[in-house]
Amino acid sequence: MPLIPIADLNDPRLQPFRQMKDRRLARSDGLFIAEGANVVDQLTTSTFQIHALLTAERFADRYHQRLPPDTPIYVLPEPQIEHVIGFKFHRGVIAAGRRQPLAALDHVMAQHLGQTTWLICPQIYDAENLGALIRIAAAFGVDGLILGPTCSDPLWRRTIRVSMGAVFHLPIVQSDDLERDLQRLHDQFNLTRIATVLDDAAQPLAATPRPDRVAILLGNEAIGLPSSVTDICDAKVTIPMNVGADSLNVAVAAAVCLYHFTQAAPANKHVN
């Protein structure tokens, strides 16, 4: 499809880009929003389809060559893009992508029969924290992320933006019964489940060997991991901190733990 200059800012074809701040409307339309060239570039190399692109003139030719010929590319001067979306915007390009089903646990586990590393987040409600967790998980080579049923939408635009597009490539499972799936990870898929906790009685992270197949559980900063989850786990570890320090941001804690388990920890098939 040729580049489509937009003459009327009320053009109905721009509707997906007008509701960017309303996560309810965007999700009900089966769409998500990706902002900025770096993130849109990641989207173009993923399995997600692009519904439409809204771009400043400086990016028009770049995406004209990359997208399928039936994908509309709407072109506007950059200041007019701000009028359409309703806020300051300097990234030059926005994509409306089509949602697709998240990964299924059985399917992704069947692809990882040897050594594997998973991150599990039962209750992450902050969109930017979730985006940072996704980016960090991808950076450390995590094979996938499992979310609890009440977690923030991984395809909300702020999560996508903070993840720098890693969300389009990292397998993400959203469990509808996390306690059941935690049991299945152990019984059916032979993963060692390690809970990260604020507890002096827990094993210090630095002294914890790496199981061959491991799932690392992280809680949110307000309440940590619920006891219904930690009671299921095979081990509890903690990041020792100076007296007076409350807790680490969940993304920072994830980076520390994932560095340990993917880079620093000696291998050991059993963690007690």
Give the pLDDT confidence of 217-237 residue by residue, as tens digits: 999 878 899 999 999 999 999
Domain shared by 152 and 206, yes or no? yes
pLDDT one-digit tens code per residue, 16-52:
888 776 666 556 689 999 999 999 999 999 999 999 9
Domain shared by 126 and 259, yes or no? yes
Q: Is the pLDDT of residue 187 over 80?
A: yes
Arithmetic mean of pLDDT, 126-136? 97
Domain shared by 189 and 55, yes or no? no
Q: What is the band of 200 on the pLDDT scale with cuts at 50, 70, 90? A: confident
Average pLDDT across the chain, whole number: 90
> Which of the listed residues 81, 98, 115 is the one where a domain comes to its end?
98
Report the distance separating Cα 83 and Cα 89, nearest Å.
Answer: 10
Q: What is the band of 163 on the pLDDT scale with cuts at 50, 70, 90? A: very high
- Six-digit token pair at 66? 């990359």
Phi, psi of 78 (to 5 degrees): -55, -45
Arithmetic mean of pLDDT, 179-194? 97
Residue 77 in domain: yes
Q: Is the pLDDT of residue 269 over 60?
A: no
The DSSP bridge pattern shows strands 93-98 and 31-35 to be antiparallel
The answer to whether 116 touches 191, Cβ cutoff 8 Å, is yes
Rounded (to 5) percent helix, strand, coil in the chain: 35, 20, 45
Domain shared by 55 and 156, yes or no? no
Residue 145 in domain: yes
Residue 270 in domain: no
Please state, as a whole number, how many other Cβ atoms lie within 10 Å of the Cβ of residue 72: 16
Q: Determine the pLDDT at residue 38.
A: 94
Q: Is the pLDDT of residue 202 over 70?
A: yes
Domain range for 142 is: 105-264
Domain shared by 67 and 135, yes or no? no
> Which of the listed residues 98, 132, 153 is the one where a domain comes to its end?
98
Arithmetic mean of pLDDT, 48-63? 90
Domain shared by 123 and 241, yes or no? yes
Residue 69 in domain: yes
Task: Please give the tally of structural domains in the chain.
Answer: 2
CATH at 153: 3.40.1280.10
